[in-house]
Amino acid sequence: MIGTLLVANRGEIACRVFRTCRELGIRTVAVHSDADEDALHARVADATVRLPGAAPAETYLRGDLVVRAALAAGADAVHPGYGFLSENADFARAVLDAGLVWIGPPPEAIEAMASKTRAKELMGLPSLGEVTEADLPVLVKAAAGGGGRGMRIVRRPQELRAALEGASAEAASAFGDGEVFVEPYVEGGRHVEVQILADTHGTVWPLGTRDCSLQRRHQKVIEEAPAPGLSEELTRELHTLAVRAARAVDYVGAGTVEFLVADGRAHFLEMNTRLQVEHPVTEAVFGLDLVAWQIRVAEGHALDDDPPRARGHAVEARLYAEDPANDWTPQTGTLHRLTVPDGVRLDTGYDDGDTIGVHYDAMLAKVVAHAPTRAEAVRALAGALERATVHGPATNRDLLVRSLRHEEFTTARMNTGFYDRHLTELTKPAPDPYAPLAAALADAHGRSRFGGWRNVPSQPQTRRYATAGEEVEVRYRHTRTGLAADGVRVVHTDARRVILEVDGVRRGFEVARYGDQVHVNATRLTALPRFPDPAPQLAPGSLVAPMPGTVVRVAGGLSEGSAVQAGQPLLWLEAMKMEHKITAPATGTLTALDVVPGQQVTVGSLLAVVQPTQEREKPRPK
């Protein structure tokens, strides 16, 4: 029996495993980088061990340090979570060689499925196969990859070389293996997967299906179980293939077999030899705890002959600190508050006041709804996200709500190209028009000790806010009976809550202010100073870092004086485990290039300057 378990991971998944361990009476050990010293997973564990440094390569990817930490803390077992070392066969062997229990499949099974190219050869399953440049569009993929990293879509021959180099560099940084391969990119397909659970006695459970078609940058955003609209015949085929994959490598524990479903056919993609981020939807539908079963299987317990019966439908949304309208740019800063209504499941690695840093993935939480039918589960999740309190940097919350309510999703006609088609409409700004007024009234109440009413006429008070890329000015007055504004009736106001009545309809606004950042219900505002900041402005064409990160590559052949085209890649930043391309904003001349590979930059750092080509002056009409 396992008495103490170390999780070789961080954030949400570490907290998730610790929760099950507490329910089972198992003591917990966390490892943490210097950047995570005060992270939630380190705070909730019974014991912690420091991994010196901040970058994954020197901390969470150092298997030798993790094994040493487990032994020092007196752990009996190691759970890898997902990502980092979770699919590293050498790490699994090191855990076992140290006399510890490995909560996962045998190293040989991990090794057999580690490379997507080798896995396809081993399985003999329907595969997309490798192709040449002539078969565009193609998808460049990291052989040892996952989570959308090390993947590039190539639609034009001249893009192939850069895609291969970029995918290889990103894969080497994320997984320590730069091997990539190319396969046809099938547009209009659905990403469908099968959760499996296998014991050491020869039983393999196929636990339904999941649809994970809503993806950005090949990373899943919304997942659900079961996958809607599949025929019974296709579902049976997927289950059969998944079980065959597990038996082919003598699999043990929880794993996932992924497929691309197109034209009613299932194409084998890969087998993930670990727990998936989206496992909660399967847990909800089958009424089981997959982490608990991982531990029981590792202790030698046998599964029943048949899996439990599926009930209802579950949908999960991944809440990210990112700006979907700005190329999904990750955001950093303080997460002041995160709460969701009762009735949905929240899995998170953050608590109120925690810092969202630059070193790791931008996912804040997973929100899961379970209901008797798909329509009810989708509605419940959209409503819960809409009413959630998310105070801090920009997130994809509005995108999630709109995605869940989009007709293509509600009617289950979505595929992996959903965001390629609909991103613009889903990210169109729609701030609450009364949010700035509510913010101003709450601010005025909070700042006034004795009331601002005067017995003489006075000018209205004004406040300016920035929201959705625009500046808004609101006006209000102090009157004998309190604060007032034109066109609305101010029913109630205090520093945290404002009630306005417009055309006979009352609405309540919850207001929270953190410095110059103001959150009014789901609208984010920035309070602007009364007088503009006289700080010097950047030259036109300046490109600044949208996030803190590391310059990983500069486009070859570029130097000051180079001619560039609009949209041409200039350099790449790495932040939150992903690469972000910085492109020329206009056709012109590169007049400054102020960074080199390996350089650390902060938000707003000047990266380059492109002087646009001036159009020839048109002759004046005579």
Would you place residue 450 in the very low, low, confident or very high pLDDT band (cuts 50, 70, 90)? very low
The answer to which of 47-51, 123-127, 429-433, 548-552 has the lowest mean pLDDT is 123-127
Higher pLDDT, 35 or 601: 35
Report how far residue 568's alpha carbon sits from residue 75's, in angstroms, rounded to the nearest whole number.
51
Q: Does 128 score more than 60 pLDDT?
A: no
Mutual angle of helices 397-405 and 418-426, in 10-degree steps? 110
Q: Does 122 score more than 90 pLDDT?
A: no
Report pTM.
0.86
Beta bridge partners of 477: 484
The answer to which of 290-294, 318-322, 461-465, 557-561 has the lowest mean pLDDT is 557-561
CA within 13 Å, CB half, 404: 31
Token pair listed for 369: 């709804």
Report how far residue 123's alpha carbon sits from residue 279's, in angstroms, rounded to the nearest whole number.
24
- pLDDT average, residue stretch 196-211: 98
Report how far residue 292's alpha carbon sits from residue 275's, in angstroms, rounded to the nearest whole number.
12
Q: Does 126 score more than 50 pLDDT?
A: no
Q: What average pLDDT does the chain have? A: 90
pLDDT in tens, 481-491: 889 999 999 99
Q: Does 186 score more than 80 pLDDT?
A: no
Would you place residue 534 in the very low, low, confident or very high pLDDT band (cuts 50, 70, 90)? low
Helix, strand, coil percentages for the chain (3-state, nearest 5): 25, 35, 40
Report how far residue 341's alpha carbon sits from residue 333's, in angstroms, rounded to the nearest whole number.
24
Q: Does 536 score more than 60 pLDDT?
A: no
Q: What are phi and psi of 166, to 5 degrees?
A: -65, -45
Would you place residue 445 in the very low, low, confident or very high pLDDT band (cuts 50, 70, 90)? confident
- pLDDT average, residue stretch 555-567: 88
pLDDT in tens, 57-81: 999 999 999 999 999 999 999 999 9
Higher pLDDT, 556 or 33: 33
Report how far residue 591's alpha carbon sits from residue 249's, in angstroms, rounded to the nearest whole number.
56
- Which stretch of DSSP H or E encloses residue 24? helix 11-24
The strand pair at 190-198 and 204-216 is best described as antiparallel
The answer to which of 114-123, 189-198, 292-301 has the lowest mean pLDDT is 114-123
Q: Does 615 score more than 80 pLDDT?
A: no
pLDDT of residue 548: 78
The strand pair at 77-79 and 4-7 is best described as parallel
Report how far residue 541's alpha carbon sits from residue 593's, in angstroms, rounded to the nearest whole number.
12
Q: Does 167 score more than 90 pLDDT?
A: no
- pLDDT average, residue stretch 420-438: 95
Report how far residue 367's alpha carbon sits from residue 12's, in angstroms, rounded to the nearest whole number.
12
pLDDT in tens, 225-267: 999 999 999 999 999 999 999 999 999 999 999 999 988 888 8
Place of tokens 């789901």: 522
Would you place residue 616 in the very low, low, confident or very high pLDDT band (cuts 50, 70, 90)? very low
pLDDT of residue 56: 92
The answer to which of 29-38, 56-65, 540-549 has the lowest mean pLDDT is 540-549
The answer to whether the Cα torsion of 162, 165, 171, 174 is positive or negative is negative
Q: For the chain, how many helices (H) and strands (E)?
A: 15, 38
Closest by Cα among 219, 132, 138 to 184: 138
Report how far residue 108's alpha carbon sits from residue 119's, in angstroms, rounded to the nearest whole number.
12
Residue ranges and CATH numbers for the domains of the chain are 4-103 (3.40.50.20), 129-184 (3.30.1490.20), 435-527 (3.30.700.40), 542-612 (2.40.50.100)
Report how far residue 313's alpha carbon sits from residue 376's, in angstroms, rounded to the nearest whole number.
8
Q: Is 385 left (phi over 0), alpha (psi -120 to 50) or beta?
A: alpha
Q: Does 609 score more than 50 pLDDT?
A: yes
Reading across the β-sheet that carries 219-225, which strands appear in turn?
265-272, 253-262, 190-198, 204-216, 219-225, 313-320, 363-371, 345-348
Report how far residue 200's alpha carbon sits from residue 252's, in angstroms, rounded to the nearest whole number.
6
Percent of the residues in the chain that have a pLDDT greater than 90, as a whole number: 68
Place of tokens 């608990």: 292
Q: What is the DSSP string of 397-457?
A: HHHHHHHHHSHHHHTT---TTHHHHHHHHHT-----TTHHHHHHHHHHHHH-SS----SS-
Residue type, 41: H
Q: DSSP class of residue 533? A: -
Would you place residue 605 in the very low, low, confident or very high pLDDT band (cuts 50, 70, 90)? confident
- pLDDT average, residue stretch 116-139: 64
Higher pLDDT, 191 or 114: 191
Beta bridge partners of 519: 512, 524
pLDDT of residue 617: 44
What is the 3-class SS of 150-202, one letter each residue? CEEEECCHHHHHHHHHHHHHHHHHHHCCCCEEEEECCCCCEEEEEEEEECCCC
pLDDT in tens, 356-389: 998 899 999 999 999 999 999 999 999 999 999 9
